[in-house]
Structure 1
Amino acid sequence: MRIARFRHEGRIRSGVVEDGVVRPFEADIRTVIEVGDIPEPQAPVPLEQVRLLAPLQPASLRDFVAFEEHVEGVRRSIDGSGGVPEAWYDAPTFYFTNPHRIYGPGDEVPFPARSVNRDYELEVAAVAGPGGSIFGYTILNDWSARDLQKREMQVNLGPAKGKDFASSLGPWIVTADELDPFKRDGFLELWCTAEVNGTEIGRDLLGNMGWTFETMIAYAARDSRIVAGDVFGSGTVGNGGCLAELWGRHGRQDPPPLRAGDVVTLTVEGIGSLTNTVVTGPDTEDLPPVRRRDPARARAERQH
């Protein structure tokens, strides 16, 4: 079953998508996920008459890094190092990104005006259901300003402004039972592709993940708390799942960074396609200069 959020006749509603129509139901999609039950659908509306929105505005969005090939290529691109760090094999690492900058199908995605090394990231996201179960899956584009990311992560914290400006989800949530036939040893064998302006850039199998979604969600819940409706990104697939991976392998920016007007389409077998257009956000003012304090002098002053 495909569950969507959409705008129709001035209202934002949720419903079931099937056979070219959407059948609205009288419940918020977050409530549906929390209860784990789909209300009785109403009269159908042709899909072409609605505007699809991001299927969910999550309370939190954790993004993992579950593909060795991606780690290897991006590390070389970002900081010049090679290989996969040994710590990657210890546990499924993730970071929190901004749940307040979620874009949906067909939306324009504004990149920071100061960024020129603009990148997409092809991922699948699991949506948590009651009790840490998986309610369903959707496509995630974890947009990245690589030049900002490269600089800020030299502080050994982040990513921050290189990531928190935008994530895209869509086109809908496919319930977990729909994708069970694609499971092999706990992994979803789904083909994932990325296109820029109609040209295929990347293609990989989701089953190349190092951990299952179930393992990643259980790890996220360890010593912490997750709730129904939380979203968990798979991390970027390999073999062109993002441009930075290819830049690291090629030793040059080939293919080139995204530019304003570029159209990025991510397609995942069994789920659908998510398309967005890159635009440039508004200019921002320079920060005031930092106040530099010599650590040794500060320690000395505290002793007097």
Structure 2
Amino acid sequence: MTYEASAVVRTGVLDGGSVRGLATGTTLEYLLATGSLEEAGADAWRSPAEVRELAEVRVLAPLRRPPSVRDGLCFLDHLRGCYRALGRDTDLPEVWSRSPAFYFANADAIVGPYDDVPISPGSTMFDLELEVGAVIGRGGRDLHPDRAEEHIVGFTLYNDWTARDHQVVDMAQGIGMAKSKDGAITLGPTLVTADELEPFRRDGRLELTASVNGVELTRGELARMDWTFGELLAYVSRGADLTPGAVIGSGTVPGGCLLEHVDTPDPGDFTGWLQPGDVVSLAGTGLGETRQVVTPAAAAIPLRSVAARSGT
């Protein structure tokens, strides 16, 4: 995990209600890039630089600036749920069965598991998304789907905050996700190593939940991914390098966003979009829990249109 105490940021190992910290300047990004995570973990247990009570520290995102972030769409029922809420045909085009979709996300927008999250400027349709992020430990290229998961060092909860009204513009422009996904990505509270999480995944007991103001929005299982992490990583690495520390999102657990719960013909009339003061929590078996307060948006500085500048 990554935490701040006495104005110093450290990487450490969570030990129940306490944190065993490594030397100042040791980041999780560095440990992954140098292949020294396991050794550092042993050092934290054997001879920590400090030991603090968890309640005394500020928990940050485990990876504050990963080298890259990609977000997949591996739960196809999430897409069907969005289509259903929007009154669209839920029979997905055949292209969705050929390969897992993904897009590049904003690695500079990472926030911690208990940080406040402002609504994206200009948005009135702000949403959450319940996901799991896989973190690459060993780099690779052209990975085989049967062995690609061997490159995952661990997992973390991932909230893909989304401005749905901005997404309408992104989709109309047709070159991919942009301002709709630019505001914030939550990672945390810790990086849970693959071996620690494996018993829950193997037994199908990795349950994921999202709630708003204490009311459960959805409950699902990681095992219900249509595209596995191995298949997603194989596709992502096809002709491309995956580097240590890269984060790959699972895509949204079905029902794990407000868009799937829209109950009005015009999504803009839906009263459930996130508002300042709302408290959003994600939780996962073995992964912990996030808890974040939504805050007001900054004012959106207007732009002149190209048409206005040309006088048309």
Q: Does 1:101 align with 2:109?
A: yes
Distance 1:183 1:261 in 2: 34
Q: Which of 181, 194, 198 matches 1:180?
A: 198
Q: Which residue of 2 aligns with 1:25?
A: 22
Q: Does 1:118 align with 2:143?
A: no
Give, as a single letter, the amino acid of the residue that structure 2 aligns with 1:112: S
Task: Verify the 8 A CA contact 1:179 1:188 in the aligned structure 2.
Answer: no
Q: Which residue of 1 aligns with 2:246?
A: 230
* Cα distance change on mapping 1:129 and 1:63 into 2, 3 Å: same
Q: Does 1:269 align with 2:285?
A: yes
For each residue in 1:98-156, what CA deviation from the matched residue of structure 2 results, as whole angstroms up to 9, or x when unmatched? Answer: 00011102111111231111110000000000134111000000001111102320222
- Return the offset for 1:249: 9.9
Q: Does 1:138 align with 2:156?
A: yes
Q: Describe how 1:49-88 pairs up with structure 2 within 5 A.
A: 49-56=56-63, 57-77=65-85, 80-88=88-96
For each residue in 1:216-258, what CA deviation from the matched residue of structure 2 results, as whole angstroms up to 9, or x when unmatched? Answer: 11211111111000000000001x2111112279987767111
Distance 1:266 1:151 in 2: 28
Give, as a single letter, the amino acid of the residue that structure 2 aligns with 1:46: E
Task: Verify the 8 A CA contact 1:78 1:146 in the aligned structure 2.
Answer: no
Distance 1:251 1:114 in 2: 18
Q: Which of 250, 260, 268 matches 1:245?
A: 260
Match of 1:201, SS? strand
Task: Verify the 8 A CA contact 1:78 1:150 in the aligned structure 2.
Answer: no
Match of 1:140, SS? strand
Task: Verify the 8 A CA contact 1:121 1:144 in the aligned structure 2.
Answer: yes
* Cα distance change on mapping 1:77 and 1:193 into 2, 3 Å: same
Q: Does 1:281 align with 2:297?
A: yes
Q: Does 1:92 align with 2:92?
A: no
Task: Verify the 8 A CA contact 2:263 2:270 in the aligned structure 1.
Answer: no
- Residue identity (%): 40
Give, as a single letter, the amino acid of the residue that structure 2 aligns with 1:195: S
Q: Which of 166, 178, 183 matches 2:184?
A: 166
Distance 2:246 2:87 in 1: 31
For each residue in 1:10-65, what CA deviation from the matched residue of structure 2 results, as whole angstroms up to 9, or x when unmatched? Answer: 10000000121000112321122231424201142110111000110211110000
Distance 1:248 1:81 in 2: 16
Task: Verify the 8 A CA contact 1:103 1:169 in the aligned structure 2.
Answer: yes
List gaps (5 residues or longer) in structure 2: 141-150
Give, as a single letter, the amino acid of the residue that structure 1 aligns with 2:19: V
Distance 1:257 1:76 in 2: 17
Q: Which residue of 1 aligns with 2:144?
A: none
- Return the offset for 1:189: 4.3
Match of 1:44, SS? strand
Distance 1:66 1:265 in 2: 21
Task: Verify the 8 A CA contact 1:73 1:247 in the aligned structure 2.
Answer: no
* Cα distance change on mapping 1:121 and 1:174 into 2, 3 Å: same
Match of 1:159, SS? coil
- Return the offset for 1:160: 0.9
Q: Which residue of 2 aligns with 1:5?
A: 2
TM-score (norm 2): 0.86
Give, as a single letter, the amino acid of the residue that structure 2 aligns with 1:14: T
Select between 36-45 and 130-139 the one with higher mean Cα deviation: 36-45
Task: Verify the 8 A CA contact 2:200 2:285 in the aligned structure 1.
Answer: no
Distance 2:280 2:91 in 1: 28
Distance 1:248 1:155 in 2: 26
Task: Verify the 8 A CA contact 1:120 1:144 in the aligned structure 2.
Answer: yes
